[in-house]
Chain A
Amino acid sequence: DAGITQSPRYKITETGRQVTLMCHQTWSHSYMFWYRQDLGHGLRLIYYSAAADITDKGEVPDGYVVSRSKTENFPLTLESATRSQTSVYFCASRRGSGQVDAGELFFGEGSRLTVL
């Protein structure tokens, strides 16, 4: 019962490098989300996806790219990392229409990214 897993859990990179954070869920949930968590801001939505090949921007999408070629995977790419993207990143999923939806999101364990 893996649920939702993120990798890597910790990553240190340098300014200007490309970084990809992976997210995989085993529940066949329709919706997947990427949030970033920063002190004083709670969790802010970067991107979300309603189904394979359907993605949309959240509150803070600049500097990030996502894709969803398969229902179970939702990678987040920082094409040219900046220091302001140092954060903890959470992937989450939830059921969609046609699935029993009690409302909540299910979260991965987070990925701590440091950009030097």
Chain B
Amino acid sequence: AQTVTQSQPEMSVQEAETVTLSCTYDTSESDYYLFWYKQPPSRQMILVIRQEAYKQQNATENRFSVNFQKAAKSFSLKISDSQLGDAAMYFCAYRSRETSGSRLTFGEGTQLTVNP
């Protein structure tokens, strides 16, 4: 079974600075998706960024980018120019593309605080 580990329960960053959230995963598969979801205090789960394992290029969405290291099974999220609205719980998640009906497996989450 796949597992996802986020080793940083809490992180903080100053407004306008850059922060990196870590995620590692364990799988024997070669074709899969990785995601970062954001959960603000409203509780809504919001997709931040998606990476397909067969793509070597790291995904980027505006101020959010990932460092995908397939061999190391590492998938970190970098937030540049942090804003107060980035404060939230961030979840890393894995989904297989090799098995039908596959579900998302989540890490435990990292609570990000943005200081003004």
Which residues does A use to contact B, with CB under 8 Å? 31, 33, 35, 40-45, 48, 50, 56, 58, 88, 90, 92, 97, 102-105, 107, 109-110
Chain B residue at minimal CB-CB distance from A54: B101
A48 touches B101 (CB 8 A): yes
Interface residues of B in 64-116 (CB under 8 A from A): 91, 95, 97, 100-101, 103-109
Chain A residue at minimal CB-CB distance from B39: A37
Q: Which of B4, B45, B91, B103 contacts A45 (CB under 8 A)?
A: B103
B residues within 8 A CB of A105?
Answer: 45, 104
A107/B44 contact (C-beta < 8 A), A40-B108, A42-B107 known = yes
B residues within 8 A CB of A45?
Answer: 103-105
User: Would you list the 5 A-B pairs with minimal beta carbon distance, nearest first?
Assistant: A107-B45, A103-B33, A42-B106, A43-B106, A42-B108
A104 touches B103 (CB 8 A): no
If over half of B's interface residues share one DSSP class (helix, strand or loop), that class is named, otherwise mixed; here it is: loop
How far is A103 from B53 in the complex, measured between Cα atoms in Å? 12
B25 proximal to A (CB < 8 A)? no
Q: Which of B50, B97, B103, B108 contacts A33 (CB under 8 A)?
A: B103
Nearest-neighbour CB distance to chain B for A74, whole angstroms, equals 14
How far is A92 from B35 in the complex, measured between Cα atoms in Å? 15
Q: Which of A44, A104, A109 contacts B47 (CB under 8 A)?
A: A104
Nearest-neighbour CB distance to chain A for B24, whole angstroms, equals 14
Chain B residue at minimal CB-CB distance from A30: B101
A110 touches B43 (CB 8 A): yes
Chain A residue at minimal CB-CB distance from B46: A107
A residues within 8 A CB of B6?
Answer: 42
Known contacts A48-B103, A107-B44, A107-B45; can you find 12 more A-B pairs with CB under 8 A?
A40-B108, A42-B6, A45-B105, A48-B101, A92-B104, A103-B35, A103-B50, A104-B50, A105-B104, A109-B42, A109-B43, A110-B44
